Amino acid sequence: MTTPLPISLFHFLLLIAAVCFAICHANSNVRCIHSEREALLKFKNDLIDPSNSLSSWMEGGDCCEWSGVVCHNSTGHVHKLHLAAPLSPYEQSALRGKINPSLLELEHLSFLDLSNNNFSSIHIPKFLGMLVNLMYLNLSFARFQGEIPHNLGNLTKLQYLDLRSNERGDIKATSLQWISGLSSLQYLDLSESDLSKATNWLQDKSQQALSFRALKTYLTWAIIFADLLSLRIAPQKAFQLMVQIMEETVKEVK
């Protein structure tokens, strides 16, 4: 009886190559979820796009191939939207219009960047606080106006939040208590926001530690001191309060 010949090295390598090809081919065929494509099209329909930057967003297309859209490479779910406008030429490139709540249908969305656009006629949408998987939210210099929605504090996974305003006072806050809900926050920028009526922001010790932790915010001590003065606190008292905040921060960092 003859014994079967062992598999040659050539055949073994051929088998490995076939397996790799099958895996890679399967991943390359991942397409976006139909319901998420429709949600993105609804979102686009409420926008004014003067530079036609969303021209690739077309009915029937694969939204994972659209400009600014990043899908998970194995599930096809949309998890990032890079829609920041280039700084120049601003007027020709900035998106305008409304933010459609169809974004809520992107349940796996973890990254949303709408910075440098021109949403001058609207407030920051409250429904953004329902995108519970967000880890990154950048609305800076997008000309939003009005009150910062308190339900942003529901975003417990959020690590990065940038709400910088184009002009001081465009964005306002009557309370900063919502910040205490951002348990994963590592970066916060509220530059040029009107905090003059946020009179309770020094009352909660845990809120102080989160809001002013040196390694976890981008609010400088100079901005803090200026905002203390804006509360009509005497300069000497404002300085004493700032020292108290710094002491609390040092304790928290330790």
Higher pLDDT residue, 86 or 88?
Answer: 86
Helix (H, G, I), strand (E, B) or coil at 194: strand
d(CA 63, CA 177): 38
Pairing, β 136-138 against β 111-113: parallel
Q: Is residue 222 part of a domain?
A: no
Average pLDDT, the chain: 78
How many domains does the chain divide into?
1
pLDDT per position as a tens digit, 52-85: 999 999 998 899 999 999 999 989 999 999 999 9
Residue 81 lies in a domain: yes
pLDDT of residue 38 exceeding 90: yes
In angstroms, the CA 78 to CA 55 distance is 18
**113, 81 contact by CB (below 8 A):** yes
With respect to residue 212, please indicate whether it lies within any of the assigned structural domains.
no
User: Which of 105, 158, 148 is closest to 125 using CA atoms?
Assistant: 148
The answer to whether residue 56 is domain-embedded is yes
Strand (E) positions, 52-95? 69-71, 78-82
1 pLDDT more than 80: no
pLDDT score at 223: 54
Q: In this structure, is residue 184 part of a structural domain?
A: yes
Look up the pTM and report it: 0.72
Residue 220 lies in a domain: no
Count Cβ atoms below 10 Å from residue 121 Cβ, excluding itself. Answer: 11
Task: Give the C-alpha separation, 155 to 109, whole Å.
Answer: 12
Q: Structure tokens of 99? A: 């933010």
Per-residue confidence (pLDDT) for residue 137, from 0 to 100: 98
* Chain segment 2-22, per-residue pLDDT in tens: 555 455 655 555 556 554 544
* CATH code for the domain in which residue 112 is found: 3.80.10.10
CA distance 64 to 78: 7
Residue 131 lies in a domain: yes
Residue 254 lies in a domain: no
Distance between CA 111 and CA 119 in Å, rounded? 19
Distance in angstroms (rounded) separating the CA atoms of residues 25 and 236: 68
Question: What's the domain range around 126?
Answer: 28-199
Provide the 10 A C-beta neighbour count for residue 194.
19
Alpha-carbon distance of 94 to 30, in angstroms, equals 31
The predicted model gives 158-181 an average pLDDT of 88
- pLDDT band for position 237 (50/70/90)? low
